[in-house]
């Protein structure tokens, strides 16, 4: 075969490059024979070392996607159309992977004034071999909660996890340059931004670990050269140690992470020398401090205890005022939170009680005029009386206080605001499973109160209170023929400073599966009535009563494992029984075909 290929290549070489054929035969013949020998040995070696490829996730070619067609129609009377009367939409999606290279495209067309759209910007490469993985393209990873966490980087990522050791490295462009535009008033300009991160760690056999990570990002000021903009190029460097220790066979867990962030708001600012700062000179070679540079930190710690019947988690988080990180976008800073989460179980876990208590505050340095503190207490009780009867009860208390600092020599009418909220919910559930029938009865009742008070004149008149009661009862039965019947009723009443609301609704539905569940059919109807009474200042009581009737039919047919059809019809009728408003009716329907491959 090699001689045949050599002769063919020789003629091709001669035809394309007349006069070089003798040289090809003099030199290329031996070279080609050697290449054939090497190729033969490599093929034999590959067959002997196929375990290398077996340990990877690379495949020669894998592809998949879908195509779809949707036709919908809409009509309304009594109101203006909320959507076009007829819309036709088509879409096609294809994704493929070849030896780790992943990409794809999507195409869509709609008659709803959108025309033809296509997208093919999701090119990426990913490959794994045992403890080593590599990604290229748009990559996303998390180094810690406060440094690199959620920012997508267009570049490369390497993760190595041999045994108990961990190494991660990521780098690329985290933002692209966006120039200011008068046509796009809401488009915020930005510089090209490059970001790099690394993480090393070691883990124990009991789940304990210690990691050290760093993240660096810098704007490229030259990417918007010549533009008149108000933003300044920024720079950021973070260092994060984090660890977890499991003791007493995992019954006691201690974990923490702390991020120190050096942030420069303006790279054009005057730099400081090492002599000005009194620090070693090598530090300024790593990161050049400037006038707008500041150092801040954020961190959290957690202790957890586990036993057969009692658990306890205690946490503390603090984010200093002014903390910034270019690896996680907008960060709410100036925040301190203490959490306490006890839980207890009785009667062989048939009764469980869990509470979550959160205490938070801001204005940590006391430099702001306003301080906000909040307390959130949530308790959940679950009781399993039997396989058929379950009861869940929950209660949530929210206390929110805002206080204003008094400024000497300045008269302040507003001194603060307080808000108290109580939320109680009871949910019993009853399920009977027989030989031919399955009955399910669910009931829920709830109470919610909100009281918001302003202190100081004249704001006391803006205080607000609201009380709501809700109830819901549902019943569903599944018959042996495959028919499911369900019904529900709901009730709500609310009294507040704005008025009184009453709402009641009933819903009925059924579904049926035919031809070995290839065809499913669903029908639902509902009626809803609400009443709203409100008082107008120095005027009469105004009452509005509305009624809504809804109905829907949904069918789905699975022609093959890859082809499905869906038909949906919906109607909505609204009538004004008392007061002002418009009577209207809406009808809509859609047909959809989808094929996957």
The pLDDT, as a whole number, for residue 4 is 41
Q: CA 428 → CA 287, 382, 440, 484, distances in Å? A: 61, 10, 11, 21
CB atoms within 10 A of CB 580: 7
Residue 69, strand partner residues: 90, 593
Query: Which residue carries 């940590």 as its tokens?
Result: 364
The residue among 70, 62, 148 whose CA lies nearest residue 109 is 70
The 10 Å Cβ neighbour count of residue 154 is 17
Give the position of tokens 């794994």.
128
Residue 306 burial (CB count, 10 A) = 15
| One pLDDT digit (tens) per residue for the chain, 597 residues | 444 444 333 333 333 333 433 333 333 445 444 444 444 544 454 444 455 556 666 677 788 889 999 999 999 998 888 888 898 888 888 877 777 666 666 778 888 755 555 555 556 778 888 888 888 888 889 999 999 998 999 999 999 999 999 999 999 999 988 887 766 555 678 899 999 999 999 999 888 999 999 999 999 988 887 777 788 999 999 999 999 999 998 899 999 999 999 999 999 888 887 777 667 777 777 888 898 999 999 999 999 999 989 999 999 999 999 999 999 877 789 999 999 999 999 998 899 999 999 999 999 998 888 899 999 999 999 999 998 999 999 999 999 999 887 665 555 555 678 999 999 999 999 998 887 788 999 999 999 999 988 775 545 566 789 999 999 999 999 888 778 999 999 999 999 887 899 999 999 999 988 888 888 999 999 999 999 988 776 667 788 999 999 999 999 999 888 999 999 999 999 999 988 888 999 999 999 999 998
Please say whether the beta carbons of 395 and 429 come within 8 A. no
Nearest-5° Cα angle at 579, 577 to 582 = 70
On whether the CB atoms of residues 520 and 510 are closer than 8 A, the answer is: no
Beta bridge partners of 489: 473, 506
* Alpha-carbon span 550 to 527, nearest angstrom: 6
Paired with 159 in beta bridges are 133, 168
Neighbours of 80 (CB within 10 A): 6
Contact present, 394 and 377 (Cβ < 8 Å): no
Q: What is the DSSP string of 308-366?
A: SSEEEEEEEEEE-TT---TTSS----SEEEEEEEEEEEETTTTEEEEEEEEEEE--TTS
- Report the candidate in 240, 164, 170 with the shortest Cα–Cα distance to residue 207: 164
pLDDT confidence of residue 288: 87
Tell how many helices (H) and how many strands (E) occur in the chain: 6, 27
Question: What distance in Å separates the CA atoms of residue 135 and residue 484, rounded to the nearest whole number?
Answer: 48
* Radius of gyration, alpha carbons of the chain: 34
pTM over 0.85: no
**CA dist 592 → 88, 486, 511, 521, 551 (Å):** 10, 26, 19, 15, 20
CB under 8 Å to 220, separation ≥6 — which residues? 177, 191, 192, 193, 194, 233
| Residue 18: DSSP 8-state | T
User: How many CB atoms are closer than 10 A to CB 513?
Assistant: 16
Query: Which 3-state string (H, E, C) describes 278-319?
Result: CCCHHHHHHCCCECCEEEEEEEEEEEEEECCCEEEEEEEEEE
What distance, in Å, lies between the first and last C-alpha atoms of the chain? 39
Buried b (16+ CB within 10 A) or exposed e, 50-64: eeeeeeeebeeeeee
Can you give the residue ranges of every domain in the chain? 2-49, 131-333
Residue 167, both tokens: 């190494």
């Amino acid at each position: 075969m090699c001689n045949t290929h050599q002769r063919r290549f020789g003629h091709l070489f001669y035809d394309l490059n007349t006069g070089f054929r003798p040289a090809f035969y003099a030199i290329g013949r031996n070279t080609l024979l050697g290449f054939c020998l090497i190729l033969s040995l490599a093929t034999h070696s590959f067959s002997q070392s196929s375990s290398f490829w077996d340990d990877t996730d690379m495949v020669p070619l894998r592809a998949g996607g879908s195509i779809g067609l949707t036709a919908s129609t809409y009509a309304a009377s009594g109101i203006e159309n909320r959507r076009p009367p007829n819309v036709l939409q088509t879409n096609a999606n294809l994704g493929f992977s070849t030896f780790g290279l992943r990409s794809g495209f999507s195409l869509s067309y709609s008659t709803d004034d959108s025309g033809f759209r296509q997208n093919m910007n999701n090119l990426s490469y990913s490959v794994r071999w045992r403890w080593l993985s590599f990604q290229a393209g748009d990559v996303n990873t998390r180094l810690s909660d406060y440094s690199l966490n959620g920012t997508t980087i267009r570049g490369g990522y390497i993760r190595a996890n041999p045994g108990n050791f961990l190494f991660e490295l990521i780098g690329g462009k985290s933002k692209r340059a966006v120039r200011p535009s008068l046509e796009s008033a809401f488009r915020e300009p930005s510089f090209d931004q490059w970001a790099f991160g690394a993480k090393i760690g070691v883990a124990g056999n009991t789940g304990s670990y210690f990691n050290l990570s760093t993240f660096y990002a810098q704007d490229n000021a030259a990417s918007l050269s010549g533009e008149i903009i108000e933003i300044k190029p920024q720079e950021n460097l973070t260092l994060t140690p984090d660890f977890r220790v499991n003791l007493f066979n995992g019954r006691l867990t201690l974990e923490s992470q702390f991020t120190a962030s050096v942030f420069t708001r303006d790279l054009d600012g005057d730099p400081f020398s090492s002599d000005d700062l009194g620090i070693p000179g090598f530090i300024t070679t790593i990161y050049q401090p400037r006038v707008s540079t500041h150092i801040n930190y954020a961190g959290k710690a957690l202790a957890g205890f586990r036993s057969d019947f009692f658990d306890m988690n205690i946490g503390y988080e603090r984010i200093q005022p002014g903390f910034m990180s270019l690896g996680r976008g907008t960060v709410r800073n100036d925040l301190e939170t203490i959490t306490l989460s006890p839980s207890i179980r009785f009667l062989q876990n048939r009764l469980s009680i869990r509470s979550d208590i959160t205490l938070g505050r801001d204005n940590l340095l006391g430099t702001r005029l306003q301080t906000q503190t909040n307390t959130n207490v949530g308790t959940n009780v679950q009781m399993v009386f039997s396989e058929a009867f379950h009861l869940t009860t929950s209660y949530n208390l929210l206390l929110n206080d805002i206080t204003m600092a008094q400024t000497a020599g300045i008269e302040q009418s507003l001194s603060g605001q307080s808000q108290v909220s109580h939320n109680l919910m009871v949910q019993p559930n009853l399920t009977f499973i027989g030989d031919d029938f399955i009955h399910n009865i669910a009931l829920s009742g709830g109470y919610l109160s909100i009281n918001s008070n302003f202190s100081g004149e004249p704001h006391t008149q803006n205080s607000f209170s609201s009380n709501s009661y809700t109830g819901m009862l549902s019943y569903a039965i599944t018959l042996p023929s495959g028919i499911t019947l369900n019904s529900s009723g709901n009730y709500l009443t609310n009294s507040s400073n704005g008025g009184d609301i009453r709402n009641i609704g009933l819903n009925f539905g059924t579904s049926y599966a035919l031809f070995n569940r290839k065809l499913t059919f669903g029908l639902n109807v509902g009626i809803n009535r609400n009443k709203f009474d409100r008082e107008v200042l120095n005027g009469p009581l105004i009452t509005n009563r509305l009624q809504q009737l809804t109905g829907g039919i949904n069918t789905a047919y699975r022609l093959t494992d890859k082809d499905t059809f869906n038909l949906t019809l919906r109607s909505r009728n609204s009538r004004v029984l008392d007061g002002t408003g418009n009577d209207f009716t809406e009808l809509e329907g859609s047909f959809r075909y989808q094929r996957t491959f």
